[in-house]
Amino acid sequence: MSSLKALASLVLGLVLLHSSSAQETTVEASKTSLNDEILFKALGNVDTYSPDVSTYLCVYKVNNMEATSGTASYNFGVTGCNADKEFVGRCPDLTSFPECGTYNIFVSSDAKVTSITGQQTKSSGKCQSK
């Protein structure tokens, strides 16, 4: 039942985004498991990453998500680690990989990663999560 509410919430949010003016505006959306599914679907399909993306992340925690109307894209603020292609997706902890920190992952409406930028990373060693 909660997934139905999440789906209804996302659909209502997208309708509201599309019904607003065509100008591009950023709206902070509530974090739901459906939003997380969009992120992890895009993150897990490295073959569809934008050619400019060379960072591959495993995500420990989704901190926030912003939706941009007009372009129907998403900006996920995450805590995670820079990893190889075969380790993209979810991190069990922040001790397994170097270069852990906060990142922004930009995802298009068709679930493709268009950009990954680091906000704050610790590259000298492994991060600890407490």
- Per-residue pLDDT band for 122 (boundaries 50, 70, 90) equals low
Show me where the domains of the chain are located: 2-126
pLDDT digits (tens, 9 = 90+) for 55-99: 999 999 999 999 887 777 899 999 999 998 999 999 888 887 878
Q: Please report the DSSP string for 9-60 in residue order.
A: HHHHHHHHHHHS-SS--EEEEPP-HHHHHHHHHHHH-GGGS-TT----EEEE
- The reported pTM is 0.69
